[in-house]
Amino acid sequence: MKIVILDGYTENPGDLSWEGFEKIGDLTVYDRTSLTDWQEITDRIKDAQAVLTNKTPLPREVINSCPKLEYIGVLATGYNVVDIQAAKERGIVVCNIPTYGTAAVGQFAIAMLLEICHHIGHHDQAVREGRWESNPDWCFWDYPLIELSGKTMGVIGFGRIGQETGRIAKALGMRVIANDEYPNDAGREIAEYVSREELFCRADVISLHCPLFPSTEGLVNKESIAKMKDGVIILNTSRGPLIVENDLAEALNSGKVYAAGLDVVSVEPIRGDNPLLTAKNCIITPHIAWAPRESRQRLMNIAVENLEQFVKGEPVNVVNRA
């Protein structure tokens, strides 16, 4: 079996091994492949039976130009980079990687929240610049310091990652409310399920963990922000288009939203004209919540297992079943 990985660097910049795939077939790994040049993508996978991609798109034009292709593995949970319908029509199995980043992303969401509450990096830098040494008072702080205990965390999308975030928030003494299309008993042990409207009204902190669907695109917008508490904190470690970025920037600059912690934006990598780059109290990180080595190793293991099961004729984590 000829196996091609189109954009392997993000998953494995050198601290992991591709050995699992090498045991299955003839492996070619490209660190990066064009996101827009369909011909380059096609040329690299036209003779492959199996292709793995993270963010390199596989549109209908590419899929239909690769007659040998039997398997597409997405090195992520989201699979919108693949034309699922085109693959289905060709009988190509498409598999994703569920659950690998649950702990990492939940931890990251809370890390952003704690940074917003305490500005630890800023105050460390201030000490190193000599500001504490020269300060006339015993201590100082440049931002309001926020205690989370007793405040309400609202989680939109209460699947595995949302529940992990809720567990940590609860351990910090927060009340947790959640909105999800499919409430379950595990979630009820952590949070009170409420409507999205009620969540907007009650939450001091809102953390987004839902998939990007037409029903969730732009769910944080001028109208929903108006329903939120003054001084709300918004976190997004899910998908950038869940937020109307101009509306959030305006709310940050006006003070309606106290702060935002964002690991994702609408267009990635971020463009220089994104209004959130100049908004007040906005932390933006380069889509790294998923990326601890432990999490990436877990992803690698599942990706190898997905392909092994496909070769055995028993595919798992298939996203385009009939």
Question: Are 16 and 39 spatial neighbours (Cβ–Cβ below 8 Å)?
Answer: no
Whether residue 158 sits in one domain with residue 111:
yes
Looking at the fold, whether 215 and 194 belong to one and the same domain comes out as yes
Domain membership of residue 163 (yes or no) is: yes
pLDDT surpassing 90 at residue 87: yes
Are residue 39 and residue 21 in the same domain, yes or no? yes
268 is catalytic: yes
Mean pLDDT, residues 52-67 taken together: 97
Annotated catalytic residue within 119, 287, 296, 298: 287
Total domains in the chain come to 2
> Is residue 278, in this structure, part of any structural domain at all?
yes
Which candidate in 19, 147, 268, 294 is catalytic? 268
Is the model's pLDDT at 321 over the cut of 90? no
Note whether residue 124 is domain-resident.
yes
Per the domain annotation, does 316 fall within a domain? Answer: no
Q: Are strands 175-179 and 50-53 parallel, antiparallel or unpaired?
A: unpaired
Asked if 48 and 83 sit in the same domain, the reply is yes
Residues 233-251 have pLDDT tens digits of 999 999 999 999 999 999 9
| Contact predicate 58/88, CB 8 Å | no
Query: Looking at the structure, do residues 167 and 186 belong to the same domain, yes or no?
Result: yes
| Alpha helices (H) along the chain | 19-22, 38-45, 60-63, 84-90, 102-118, 120-128, 160-171, 185-188, 196-202, 222-227, 245-254, 293-311
User: Do residues 138 and 241 share a domain?
Assistant: yes
Q: Report yes or no on 161 lying in a domain.
A: yes
**78 plus 204 within the same structural domain:** no
**Is residue 251 within 8 Å of 257, Cβ to Cβ?**
yes
| Whether residue 190 sits in one domain with residue 252 | yes
The neighbouring-strand residues paired with 74 are: 53
How many Cβ atoms from other residues are within 10 Å of residue 25's Cβ? 16
> What value does the mean pLDDT take over residues 200-215?
95
Q: Using CA of residue 230, residue 170, residue 106, residue 100, what is the dihedral sign?
A: negative
Judge whether 320 lies within some domain.
no
pLDDT higher than threshold 70 for residue 210: yes
Q: Residue 89 above 90 pLDDT?
A: yes
The average pLDDT across 94-114 equals: 96
Same-domain pairing of 134 and 196? yes
Lookup: tokens for 290? 């998923």
User: What average pLDDT score do residues 130-137 get?
Assistant: 96
Tell me what pLDDT residue 318 has. Answer: 97
Shared domain check, 251 and 210: yes
Nearest CA-CA partner of 268 in 76, 109, 55, 97: 55
State what percent of residues in the chain have pLDDT above 70: 100
Tens digits of residue pLDDT in 143-164: 999 999 999 999 999 999 999 9
Residue 30 CA: distances (Å) to CA of 5, 6, 166, 177, 268: 6, 5, 38, 43, 20
Catalytic residue among 239, 245, 296, 298: 239
Is residue 75 domain-shared with residue 123, that is, in the same domain?
no
Q: State yes or no: is 22 an active-site residue.
A: no
Q: What does the pLDDT read at residue 322?
A: 65
Q: Is position 112 within any domain?
A: yes
Residues 297 and 276 in one domain: no
Residue 318 lies in a domain: no
What is the average pLDDT across 190-195? 98
pLDDT of residue 80: 87
Q: Please provide the average confidence, as pLDDT, over all residues in the chain.
A: 97
DSSP letter, residue 250:
H
* Count of CB atoms situated within 10 Å of the CB of 203: 27
Q: Residue 153 belongs to a domain with what CATH number?
A: 3.40.50.720
**Domain of 195, in residue numbers:** 102-284
Residue 78 confidence (pLDDT) above 90? no
